[in-house]
Chains A and B, each alone.
Chain A
Amino acid sequence: MLTKRVKSRIVFFTFLFTLLGILIFLTLKSLEENVVYFFSPTEIYNKTDISISGKIRIGGLVKKGSVINNESDVVFIITDLKNEVIVTYSGLLPNLFSEGKGVVAEGKLKDKKYFIAHSILAKHDENYMPPEVYKALKKSNN
């Protein structure tokens, strides 16, 4: 049913498509450091070629009970449940910033454990539910 020309076109375009796919895959793979929006505390801990002066972003959860509101700044801990980074920040926090929730901090590392943020973004997860359901879930978990 398929003529020779159609067959050769199938081969040609499949080849082209795969080649392009591989090319894009390799490009993205080699640019991974730039494609990721933030590093986790563990990735920071494991990194050897870390730039102390450059701007980077750290993401994770705000450790429960770690938020300290001072007069001029706020100090809290970003954790990925393996490693932790202490963050200081002076400025307005987003509405969704709260303990136990996701956060992305942009700023500079002082050392691998200490981070000075100049902007804070809240990261929420893919769970959506009414407040009553959340309360009921929390109750049953405790």
Chain B
Amino acid sequence: MFKNLFPNKIILLKNNTIKILLFIMILIFFIGLIFALFISPPDYLQGDSVRIMYVHVPSSFIALGCFGLIGLASGFNLIFKIKLAPLVAKSLAPIGCIFSITSIVTGSLWGKPTWGIWWVWDARLTSMLVLFLFYLAYIFSWKVIKNYEKAVKVSSFIGIVGLINLPIIKYSVNWWNTLHQTSSIKLTSLPTIHYTMLIPLLIMFLGMLIYSLIIFLMRYKTESMKLKLNKKK
């Protein structure tokens, strides 16, 4: 199965596969939005503004996850010189970038009615902004540097340095006093979100994951083609 992900195989990826995924995604979003907007109850404290969570939390998860993968791929590339690693990382970057800005914007929209302010410089919000800046730096390193080998090196370096930021984001709410609340979903204990709100959250997360997968496959195919063309020149 994984063999299909090698650059010379991904080029054969059919548009039908994308179309099927697209169909599944729309279906999941349809169900997810019905749950998020109509079926799920308002929060006892925040009322309907809690519904922003169904976009905000999955966006943040994916923004962090994407950079985690970029960092890993960059590390693998720098150490083992695997040819497909930088391509994977490069294809993931725009997805994570979009989701990090989505997370920040929706967070801001959520902050105003609940906290009473759009933005504060607390540890969570600031480290999330740093993540967005890392995404920008990563993407620009590919855009600015024309020499492929050099671009791979510089971007991979940004990738592994940015990896250090991820635990800082994750644990910022535990290590320091922040205005941002601590995590509701933890590996070590039960979620503190009532299940009627957890269900739409998980469905929306799944929808956004499939969206990310579609964008990734399309980008990865394009990048592989570009590399092949450049080699032929």
Stretch at the interface among B14-22, B58-66, B84-92, B116-124: B116-124
A13 to B77, CA, bound (A): 11
Contacts of A131 in B (CB 8 A): 41-44
Q: Interface size on B (CB < 8 Å)?
A: 39
B4 at the interface (CB under 8 A from A): no
Interchain pairs with CB closer than 8 A, number: 113
Contacts of B123 in A (CB 8 A): 35-37
Given A21-B164, A134-B44, A128-B178 contact (CB < 8 Å): no
From B164, B176, B194, contact of A128 by CB (8 A):
B194
- Give chain A's interface secondary structure class: mixed
Contacts of A134 in B (CB 8 A): 44-45
Q: Interface size on A (CB < 8 Å)?
A: 41
Report whether B79 and A96 are in contact in the complex, using a CB–CB cutoff of 8 Å. Answer: no
From residue A11, how far is it (CB to closest CB) to chain B in Å?
Answer: 10
A24 to B117, CA, bound (A): 29
A126 to B178, CA, bound (A): 13
From A10, A20, A121, A132, contact of B117 by CB (8 A):
A121
Interface centre among A9, A24, A127 (most CB of B within 10 A): A127
Report the nearest A residue to B178, measured CB to CB: A37
Report whether B114 and A37 are in contact in the complex, using a CB–CB cutoff of 8 Å. Answer: no
Tell me the B residues contacting A by CB distance below 8 Å. 41-46, 50, 53, 75, 78-80, 113-117, 120-123, 160-161, 163-164, 168, 176-179, 181-184, 192-194, 196-197
Residue contacts A-B, CB under 8 angstroms, 13 given:
A6-B80, A10-B79, A13-B78, A21-B164, A37-B177, A37-B178, A38-B177, A120-B116, A121-B120, A125-B182, A129-B43, A129-B44, A129-B197
